[in-house]
Amino acid sequence: MTLEDKLQADFKKVSDVILGDDKQIRQAPKRKIKLPKVVFDRVEEFNIEENFDAGLTDYDIVNCILGNIDEGVYWEYLANKDVSLVPPTEFYQWLDEHRAYGATLIMLAVIYNNYELED
């Protein structure tokens, strides 16, 4: 495989991810967003009614999922809960691979509460 072939294959892989994510974003209100297990589990961990009832907003929940937890949010809502504040390595790998729209997919999954485990 030549360098040009490798670059074309890499470009196709990246463009397939971006196009796939973009398609899910456009269809988010109508169809469930498909998330891999590591991301699905992370969303399930924080996207719970108890957190909303406690006063966390969609924005707070998304930041918790992404591991960008504000110290005030942590101490006010999560300090006494048994949750992992730092996402697993596989989560960061997925987020890196989907850097164009990964956080947006997570945000839409939380806002619409319309997501499922990827096949």
| Domain ranges (residues) in the chain | 28-117
Name the least confident of 9-13, 45-49, 100-104.
9-13
The percentage of the chain sitting over the pLDDT mark of 90, rounded to a whole number, equals 43
Structure tokens at 17: 């991810």
- In whole angstroms, give the CA distance from residue 12 to residue 107: 26
Write down the pLDDT at residue 102.
Answer: 92
Does residue 8 have a pLDDT over 80? no
Write down the pLDDT at residue 20.
Answer: 80
Q: What is the pTM of this model?
A: 0.79
Q: What's the pLDDT tens digit per position in 19-72?
A: 887 788 787 777 899 999 999 999 999 999 988 888 889 999 999 999 998 888
- In whole angstroms, give the CA distance from residue 108 to residue 62: 9
Residue 10 pLDDT class (50, 70, 90 cuts): low
The better pLDDT of the pair 17, 113 is held by 113
The closest of 117, 105, 113, 115 to 49, measured between CA atoms, is: 113
The better pLDDT of the pair 119, 28 is held by 119
Rg (the chain; Cα; Å): 16
